[in-house]
Amino acid sequence: MRIFYRLCKMSSIMPPPQSLLKPMNFPRKSLYGPGPSNCPPRVLAACALPLLGHCHPEFFQIMDEIKEGVQYAFQTQNELTLAISGTGHAGMEAAVCNMVEPKDVVVVFSAGLWGERFADMAERHDADVRVVEKPMGAVFTLDDVKQALDHHKPSVAFIAHSESSSTVMQPLEGIGDLCKSHNCILIVDCVASLGGAPMFMDQWNIDVLYSGSQKVLSCPPGAAPISLNQRARNKLAARKTKVRSFYLDMNWLGNYWGCDGQPRKYHHTGPISSMYALREGLSMLVEEGLEECQARHQKCANILYEGLEKMGLKPFVKNKAHRLPTLTAVEVPDGIDWKKVSQYAMDKYKIELAGGLGASAGKVWRLGFMGYNAQPENVRTTLRVLQEGIEWYRNSPQSKL
């Protein structure tokens, strides 16, 4: 003991950070951007429930219920369906590291940030990446897909159903059939659309589908629903090399989630509270019903479109059929500083008016009404605040500079 105290006196111990002796600062804000969404009280309450052990039978039951909820949201009967401990990026990374091996030819249909991110991840796994690019706001046709598959002959293809950087919703019908006929695994990102727009994983022949918890499901970020069909499982089983990420290895994760019929083994400490929240968010989706939830989001989107038209503002995506019902990019008028208007809305009303992402940065506001936030009164309030902010900026001295 004397030696311990002597060492303490000889050592220089850092002083405690004063910031941690004060309460956290978390003002209540209306998160009407690309996500995260505001959480409903019952989801927040679920986060505060007592912890269980991550291998306790009661927690395994909750994991099983989450699996059923994800299958419902994805409209799939795939056995290998679960929620990864991580955000939507972890879902994307899991799709890459499980489906891609070195030298695999991977076609990435890219019309925004998420195609760019997927290509980056695939390159890090030594894939032969071929990017088929279109400008932001555009979608890929079946002819585009067929030509790329015929020319590149890939083993894996990626496309974003919800390209949140441009707020495009990519039509998917027929793409899975084309990929299947070319013996190519189709990976789809539906992070910003799941629950707010139609999604039929099995019917559309999607091999790997992933999403996130913080959008329409209105949960805290930190869980990424994902599902692999039998074709994807066959590719996983036929790998010549180990999955490079132990943490995201779907063989281990599938066992931990009870997807392989074998006794569950410890893989990692699941984020207990995050899974409570996800279970509650999925429960709310089931109670409302998928079709009803999608109709609510489309109703809010239509109110937004009508309001923007009255204000003389234009959605970035011109074709209504290609707009995400959950998230809308609005073109910033000439002479308006988007950031100053967004700051005005935040400072005065604590309302988030997000800017663009990637190539759309500085060119658009992105307005999202997802999950708990998808209510007509929230849309109308945001339209009023946006108009007020634009008028404020036009009348301010700084607009004349």
CATH code, domain with 201? 3.40.640.10
Residues contacting 277, CB < 8 A, separation 6+ = 39, 43, 44, 46, 47, 213, 219, 220, 223
- The verdict on residue 15 lying in a domain is no
Residues contacting 190, CB < 8 A, separation 6+ = 161, 162, 199, 209, 210, 211
| Whether residue 47 is found in the same domain as residue 108 | yes
| Whether residue 326 is found in the same domain as residue 279 | no
Full-prediction pTM beyond 0.75?
Answer: yes
- The verdict on residue 50 lying in a domain is yes
- Total structural domains within the chain: 2
304 exposure class (CB count in 10 Å sphere: 0-12, 13-18, 19+): buried
Buried b (16+ CB within 10 A) or exposed e, 351-384: bbbbbbbbbbeeebbbbbbbbbbbeeebbeebbe
**What are the φ/ψ torsions at residue 392 (nearest 5 degrees)?**
-60, -45
| Whether residue 355 is found in the same domain as residue 258 | no
Neighbours of 23 (CB within 10 A): 5
| Whether residue 93 is found in the same domain as residue 48 | yes
| pLDDT at res. 383 | 98
Neighbours of 153 (CB within 10 A): 13
CATH assignment at residue 355: 3.90.1150.10
**Which neighbouring-strand residues pair with 208?**
187, 228
| pLDDT at res. 306 | 98
In angstroms, rounded to a whole number, what is the distance separating the alpha carbons of residues 284 and 254? 25
- The verdict on residue 361 lying in a domain is yes
| Whether residue 114 is found in the same domain as residue 256 | yes
| pLDDT at res. 397 | 78
Helix and strand numbers (H, E) in the chain are 13, 12
The H-or-E segment that residue 157 falls in is strand 156-160
| pLDDT at res. 9 | 61
- The verdict on residue 94 lying in a domain is yes
| Whether residue 308 is found in the same domain as residue 366 | yes
- The verdict on residue 376 lying in a domain is yes
| Whether residue 350 is found in the same domain as residue 300 | yes
List, as residue ranges, the binding site for substrate.
366
**240, 262, 287 - which closes a domain:** 287
- The verdict on residue 146 lying in a domain is yes
In angstroms, rounded to a whole number, what is the distance separating the alpha carbons of residues 128 and 130? 7
**Residues 208, 99: contact at Cβ < 8 Å?**
yes
| Whether residue 277 is found in the same domain as residue 301 | no
**Residues 350, 29: contact at Cβ < 8 Å?**
yes
- The verdict on residue 19 lying in a domain is no
What Cα–Cα distance (Å) separates residue 310 from each residue in 75, 303, 306, 383? 37, 11, 6, 10
In angstroms, rounded to a whole number, what is the distance separating the alpha carbons of residues 166 and 138? 9
Token reading at 369: 């009404």
In angstroms, rounded to a whole number, what is the distance separating the alpha carbons of residues 186 and 155? 9
- The verdict on residue 389 lying in a domain is yes
| pLDDT at res. 6 | 61
Buried b (16+ CB within 10 A) or exposed e, 49-86: eeebebeeeebbebbebbbebbbebbbbebbbbbbbbb
| pLDDT at res. 69 | 98
Report helix, strand or coil for 241: coil
| Whether residue 239 is found in the same domain as residue 156 | yes
Looking at 75-181, list the stretches that DSSP marks H as alpha helix, in order from N- to C-terminal side. Answer: 88-99, 113-124, 142-152, 175-181
**What are the φ/ψ torsions at residue 131 (nearest 5 degrees)?**
-95, 125
**What are the φ/ψ torsions at residue 209 (nearest 5 degrees)?**
-130, 135
**Which neighbouring-strand residues pair with 328?**
367
| pLDDT at res. 13 | 86
Report helix, strand or coil for 156: strand
In angstroms, rounded to a whole number, what is the distance separating the alpha carbons of residues 236 and 251? 8
**Residues 367, 332: contact at Cβ < 8 Å?**
no
Report helix, strand or coil for 139: coil
In angstroms, rounded to a whole number, what is the distance separating the alpha carbons of residues 168 and 139? 7
| pLDDT at res. 359 | 84
List, as residue ranges, the binding site.
366
**287, 303, 333 - which closes a domain:** 287
| Whether residue 233 is found in the same domain as residue 325 | no
| pLDDT at res. 1 | 59
Range of the domain at 152: 41-287
| Whether residue 216 is found in the same domain as residue 332 | no
DSSP structural state of residue 262: S
Amino acid 24 reads M
**287, 319, 352 - which closes a domain:** 287
| Whether residue 302 is found in the same domain as residue 320 | yes
Q: Point out the residues of the chain with pLDDT beneath 70.
A: 1-11, 398-401
